[in-house]
Amino acid sequence: MLSEKLLNHLNAQVNFEIYSSYAYLSMAAYCESLDLSGFANFFKVQCQEELFHAMKFYDYIFQKNGVVVLEQIEKPNSNFENISDVFETGYEHEQLVTSRLYRIADIATEEKEHATISLLNWFINEQVEEENTFNTILKKIKRAENNPAALYMLDDELGARVYVAPTTTNA
């Protein structure tokens, strides 16, 4: 049984992961509009990953006898200055996600809610990779600035990304 406080935070996170998915789809659409289909592919995969995250919290809430409540999802940003702005926004977003997860983990720790701590550890480990992915691509984009050939090579590289649903059901 989850406390009301923890349940509220987990519910908010279901909604926030759906918002993340929506924000990345908006970034995919922006890349598509620039004919950068590889970058768009990267964000479409990212969009699927975030939906998987939302469902992982969703399933957990019901497993713990709680009820998921869906809220209105905020309109995502669609005005970007350039491709580097998109990745800066994404990188900042992932850092915000990490800080939200830390906050929920703090509450779960205060309440000695070990199953929730275990679930959050999966997400917190995942965030190390998420932040690093965005930061690494951002650095590559900055190096490719004023060099269209390098940017298109990066577009090709990101076009090869394929969504793979995590097999772990650790929760």
Tokens of 103: 């906050």
In order of 14, 36, 44, 56, 137, the CA distances from 165 in angstroms are 18, 24, 14, 11, 22
Site string for Fe ion, 1-20 (x = CB under 5 A): ----------------x---
Identity (one letter) of the amino acid at 81?
E
> Within a 10 A sphere around the Cβ of 78, how many other Cβ atoms?
11
Q: Which span (37-45, 47-55, 107-115, 138-146) binds Fe ion, by CB under 5 A?
A: 47-55
Write down the least CB distance from residue 35 to Fe ion, Å: 25
Taking the least distance from each CB to Fe ion, the nearer of 53 and 141 is 53
CB of 1 to Fe ion, least distance (A): 25
CA–CA dist 103, 107 (Å, integer): 7
Decide: is 113 part of the binding site for Fe ion (CB under 5 A).
Answer: no
Is 130 a residue that touches Fe ion (CB under 5 A)? yes
Which 73-112 residues touch Fe ion, going by CB under 5 A? none
Nearest residue to Fe ion on Cβ basis: 53
Geometric angle at alpha carbon 80, from 142 and 150, rounded to 5°: 30
53 belongs to the binding site for Fe ion (CB under 5 A): yes
Residues near Fe ion (CB under 5 A) = 17, 50, 53, 130
